[in-house]
Amino acid sequence: MRTRFAPSPTGPLHLGHAYSALLASDMAHAAGGAFLLRIEDIDQSRSRPEWDRQIEADLRWLGLTWPEPVLRQSERLQTYRGALQTLWSRGLLYPCTCRRRDIVEALGAPQEGVPHGPDGLIYPGTCRAETPPSGPLPDGVALRLDMRRALDAAGPAPLTFAETGKAHQEIATNPCDYVEKIGDIAVARKDMSTSYHLSVVLDDAAQGITHVVRGEDLFDATAIHVLLQRLLGLPTPVYHHHRLIRDEHGKRLAKRDDSRAIATYRDEGLGPEDIRRLVDLPELTPPAP
Ligand code: GLU
Ligand code: ZN
Maximum CA pair distance of the chain? 68
Residue 55 lies in a domain: no
- Nearest ligand by distance to the CA of 51: 1
Atom of ligand 1 nearest to the CA of 4: 8
Q: Identify whether the C-beta of residue 239 lies closer than 8 Å to the C-beta of residue 33.
A: no
- Choose one of 218, 226, 228, 253 to mutate for the ligand 1 pocket test, by most ligand atoms within 8 angstroms of C-beta: 218
Tally of structural domains, the chain: 1
Q: What is the pTM of this model?
A: 0.94
Residues 83, 204 contacting (CB under 8 angstroms): no
| Residue 53 belongs to some domain of the structure | no
Q: What is the pLDDT of residues 185-229, one digit of tens each?
A: 999 999 999 999 999 999 999 999 999 999 999 999 999 999 999
- Could you tell me if 188 and 143 are in contact, meaning their C-beta atoms sit under 8 angstroms apart? yes
In a domain, 169, yes or no: yes
Give the length of the chain.
289
The Cβ of residue 30 has, within 10 Å, a number of other Cβ atoms equal to 9
pLDDT, tens only, 123-178: 999 999 999 999 999 999 999 999 999 999 999 999 999 999 977 899 999 999 99
Q: Domain span at residue 149?
A: 76-207
* 252 contacts 246 by C-beta, under 8 angstroms: yes
Look at residue 27 and tell me whether its pLDDT is greater than 60: yes
What CA–CA distance (Å, rounded) separates 196 from 210? Answer: 19
Which atom of ligand 1 is found nearest the CA of 200? 9
Q: Within a domain: residue 259?
A: no
Is 135 among the domain residues? yes
Tell me which DSSP letter residue 183 carries: -
CATH of the domain at 161: 3.40.50.620
In sequence order, the 6+-apart residues with CB closer than 8 A to the CB of 78 are none
